[in-house]
Chains A and B, each alone.
Chain A
Amino acid sequence: MSRLGKGINWNRLVRSRAFWLGAALVVLITVFSVNSIRSMGGEMFSYLVIDFFSTGIFMATPLILTSIGAVFSERSGVVNIGLEGMMLIGAFFGVMVSYFTGSAWLGVLGGMIAGGLTAALHAYVCISHHANQTVSGVAINVFALALTGFLLKAVFHRAGQTDRVTKLANWIMPDFFRNIPIIGDVLGSNTPPVYIALLLVVAAQVVLFHTPLGLRIRACGEHPEAADTVGINVTGTRYFCVILSGVLAGLSGVTLSLGQLSLFKEAMTDGRGYIAIAAMIFGKWTPLGAFLASLFFGLATGFKFISQSWNMTSIPTDFLLMLPYILTMLALAGFVGRLTPPAASGLPYRRRGSV
């Protein structure tokens, strides 16, 4: 133990994830403020701050939804690299259902079901057939990219993107909430998935760590044999969690296609599924952690757009875009907090004596 600071355990502080997250955020905001105050007055600055956080939450919402799904899947012991593809499928089917029914909410439902079905395929291959989970996930991503492109041509008879469809209307919060400075401006009126995502964080955290169901899920991911011995249905629990992750990824995809835009573009998820997995890891496989990491990654990505639209030239944006990936690697390597994945994550479970 180093005794550098009085009462502060520096060693521990430096290795803690919160410290680095905070430090990175401070650097980001400082660079941002110095640049902007130099170029504009105070009132403009407050607009800028609002813009910064609005863009951040805008970018973060799909990540939050997907990364919470990823937490459930991995906690139950199944690696789900296929989330990227499930998001894409959700985004497409959301738009398709909205196109044919004219209802954005039915679209949301359609997207979630489509994502869940894709996840069920992953679950079937990985859980019932003990396939390599990463290979299956990759296959699902290849499959989803092609399927959505194919259906785009087959259903909408055009390439690139679909027609515009009915999108989700914004939810408007009560006046007292909207009058709170900054928070009211950022969250006063926003697309519904934003609020759903925020509620979901709390719900997921409670379910996973404070209910019997959560305990069962975690047992399946840590020690499936033990879970099986005490009568937990490992296969069923894993199916449930993987399908849940697909449903959430579908919702996340719909957030992109019906919440933020009103159409589907080819490959529109653009690697967000992978960033969400990074957020899950960075958040130590907990919903709350995944939420914070998603928010941070969202702000980092949002920063790129802000610096473009406000004409700021500071760090090359490519390096900002790299940030989530670099941070995740550092986190994994133990430079930023210690991470322990669920012990049985990625391992197929075979009951002893069965074939």
Chain B
Amino acid sequence: MAFIEVENLNKQFIIRKKREKGQLMRPKEEISALREVSFQVNQGELVGYIGPNGAGKSTTVKILSGILTPDSGCVSVDGLVPWADRKAHVRRIGVVFGQRSQLWWDVPIADSFALLKEIYHVPEAAYQARMGELTEALQLGDLMRTPLRLLSLGQRMRAELCGSLLHSPSLLFLDEPTIGLDAVSKLTLREFLQWENRQRGTTILLTTHDMEDITALCSRVMVLGHGRKLYDGELTDLLARYDTERIITARYEEEISGTAWPEGCQIRRNGENWIITYAPKKIPTAEMMARMQQAGHLRECTVQPQNVDRLIARMYQEMEL
């Protein structure tokens, strides 16, 4: 049996709308947050969970972590049903919500950690060893005596990670962990997650809108839209379906004009740069290059793939999300 087993998961929310004039009751609207979602995750996997806002990502995480009870369907995480065996289950998982703090606001983070140790019954020796490991990997040493409210967003996220990992969970859920972080903080965070995954074999499931997170961390992605699972597999395979265009940026020695560009490609000019978007399937790159050389003395040129965010946007569009 796989580490995480999810079968035919359904969850509906009933939203009560505002009462209009002349209506006796407030009208109800049922929203299906999840419809027949099934998947399996093996121990030690690093899985990305993507989809537009409101697709049901957070709902899945909440069900898997035991906060919510689904309407129907089976879930087993390491042999336990999250909502039925809540206490035994949460002892073995760690959860980080990017927008919700789990530490105490006004006290030094070291005190928060000490209290978490108490809550999770972590033995002293194990606690010391784990803290040493985490403070070094997350570079928290100098911040231990600082209250949470005085930390920057990046520092706070590192502290949150430390807090949710100090009981050494075998499964870690991350809900938009890099939201609002600067480039350096993002990189440190990703490096840390890879380290934790390799070092301890921690299974990690992360939801994000940042495609860099996915490309850097996850070999496997699941795409969710309108509560349905739309794709499950390697990111590269998913992107290959939509990755049909290349972008050339070119500069010429002299001013060029009146060039006959092939049909079906888009041309834009940005100062000295010519930016050409074309589909290699329709116009082979060799032909494109030949045309460009005819146009004048090419000083430099780069060929780039389409931006991942664009690809995802296109995917969402085509899936009508």
Do chains A and B interact in one complex?
no
Residues on A lying within 8 angstroms of B by beta carbon are: none
Q: Give B residues with C-beta under 8 Å from A.
A: none
